[in-house]
Amino acid sequence: MKKVITGNQAVAYGVILSRVEVVSAYPITPQTTIVEELSELIANGRLHTRFLKVESEHSAMAALIGASTGGVRCFTATSSHGLAYMHEMLHWASGARLPIVMVNVNRAIGPPWNIWSDQSDSLSQRDTGWIQLYCENNQEVLDTILQAYRIAETVRLPVMVILDAFVLSHTSEPVEIPSMEEVEAFLPPYCPPYPLEPQEPKSYSVITTPEYFFEFRYKIQKAMEEVPEVCQKVEDEFYSRFKRRYGAVEKYGDEQAEVLLLTSGTVTSTSRIVIKKWREEGVNIAGLKIKRFRPFPAKEIGEAIKGTKKLAVIDRNLSAGVGGIFAQELKAALYSQEERPAIFGFVSGLGGRDITPELLEEAIQYTLGHSQPKEEILWLGLKR
């Protein structure tokens, strides 16, 4: 069934189709309409899910940690300050190996107060042990939710599905909504590995001395290392059923491009148009969409950039003191590789300023015109 729905509605459909049993959330723009939609369905008796009202995002995640430990599939959504408030519990969720799926609608963190899109909220949480998947359109949002539960429940790590504020969250697009039967066949019910049984009391994540703590962390890294393969398998199966795939990264344009434009989220859609136009004008160029940020797809990127001389990275985020986070991650990932193209780190679109085709063209122009970037951070669209 095809429907014209917003990104947030696509999330809600994904949650419904995944037969989530517990939803716990606290409202924050631009996420609110996701749980609004879900809570309404629950209140009307059309969705048999337990909705927990909580007084904060910290409690929302804490409640899901309880629910997930109890062995049920669960969900929450947040943005910006709400995500920041959850920080401690994000560590707990991954440390306790709980397959929680959360949507974060990318929104800048204040002050100054701002409700528009940038990635500084989710990227601030990159070291919490969560898998992070960035979406480009509403169809991808829905499909990624379904895949996220499969991935999370296989590797037993939590997954954050990320979409841009307003550009996706509040914008309608046609979305193919799979039937419940199809999704049930793809996503079986969750079977917890260590179920909570009142008859057999257990204490989870009890105090662990230096004797073993280290090894538990090692195991989380090992689980992260399994993710690329698991994602691949899950997506192959998804493709066989639904005929859609996204990949950890997606390269489009000239196979042997000299210049590659790296983007994530909705900027990729803009980039696709720009790349197409420049290729038509005879420029040997391609785009690279990065969907999976954690674990960072170093291997996949390594393959995609073979033969590329220059990488222009568009970062809609800023780690003050360093620069764009995607660019930094990329540099770190390429250090051990033989081919190390020049990396042009553009920072743009903070606090929801539009990253227009013109801005992307400016970035391409600069990259074409320089053998190496003149500055560590290339400010794109900044009013100096």
Partner 1 sequence: MSKQFTFKGASEMPEIPISLGFMDWNKTGAWRAQRPYYLDKTPPCSAYCPVGNDIVSFIQKILEEDMDGAWRVLREENPFPGVCGRVCFHPCESRCNRSFLDEPIAIHALERFVADFSEDQGQKVKREVEEGKERVAIIGSGPAGLSCAYHLARLHYPVTVFESFSLPGGMLRMGIPSYRLPREVLEREIALIESMGVNIRTGITLGQNLTWQDLKDYSAIFIATGAHLGRPLGIPGEKRRGVFQGLEFLKKVNSGKKIELGEKVGIIGGGNTAIDVARSVIRLGKKAILLYRRSKEEMPAFEEEVSEALEEGVKIRYLVNPIRIHSKDGLKRLECLRMKLGEKDETGRRKPIPIPNSNFFIEVDSLIIAAGEEIEFSYFPKGMERKGGILLTQRDGSAGVKGVFAGGDLTSTQRTVAHAIGSGKKAALAMDCYFKEKDSEEVFRRTLIGEGPPISIFRYLHPDERRMDPHLVRFEELNLDYFEPAPRQKESKLPPKVRIKDFKEITSTLPSSLAIEEAGRCFSCGTCNGCETCYVFCPDASILKREGIFLREIDYDFCKGCGICFTECPRGAITLKEEAR
- Residues at the interface with partner 1 (CB under 8 A): 95-97, 156, 193-194, 200-206, 208, 212, 215-216, 218-219, 222-223
Contacts of 118 (CB under 8 A, 6+ apart): 106, 107, 108, 316, 317, 349, 350, 351, 352
Of 206 and 320, nearer to partner 1 (C-beta) is 206
Of 56 and 365, nearer to partner 1 (C-beta) is 56
Of 55 and 181, nearer to partner 1 (C-beta) is 55
CB of 239 to partner 1, least distance (A): 29
Structure tokens at 244: 């859609």
CB of 152 to partner 1, least distance (A): 13
Contacts of 109 (CB under 8 A, 6+ apart): 80, 81, 84, 120, 121, 124
Strand-strand pairing, 101-106 and 50-53: unpaired
Structure tokens at 223: 């689980």
Of 157 and 160, nearer to partner 1 (C-beta) is 157
Of 174 and 195, nearer to partner 1 (C-beta) is 195
CB of 208 to partner 1, least distance (A): 5
Of 69 and 367, nearer to partner 1 (C-beta) is 69
List, in sequence order, every residue forming a beta bridge with 311; answer none if it has no partner.
260, 343
Nearest residue to 354 via CA among 111, 116, 30, 112: 116
- Element (DSSP H or E) covering residue 367: helix 357-369
CB of 129 to partner 1, least distance (A): 12
CB of 218 to partner 1, least distance (A): 5
CA distances from 248 to 77, 259, 290, 339 (A): 22, 20, 6, 20
Of 96 and 342, nearer to partner 1 (C-beta) is 96
Q: Is 97 left (phi over 0), alpha (psi -120 to 50) or beta?
A: left
DSSP annotation of 113 reads P
DSSP for 43-71 reads HTTSS--EEEE-SSHHHHHHHHHHHHHTT
CB of 86 to partner 1, least distance (A): 20
Q: Is 323 left (phi over 0), alpha (psi -120 to 50) or beta?
A: left
CB of 181 to partner 1, least distance (A): 32
CB of 219 to partner 1, least distance (A): 6
CA distances from 18 to 36, 57, 93, 355 (A): 17, 22, 19, 33
Phi and psi at residue 104, to the nearest 5°: -115, 120
CB of 139 to partner 1, least distance (A): 33
Query: Sheet containing 342-348: which strands, arranged edge to edge?
Result: 249-253, 285-290, 259-263, 310-315, 342-348, 378-380
Of 215 and 281, nearer to partner 1 (C-beta) is 215
Q: SS3 for 284?
A: coil
Of 46 and 217, nearer to partner 1 (C-beta) is 217
CB of 226 to partner 1, least distance (A): 12
Of 130 and 344, nearer to partner 1 (C-beta) is 130
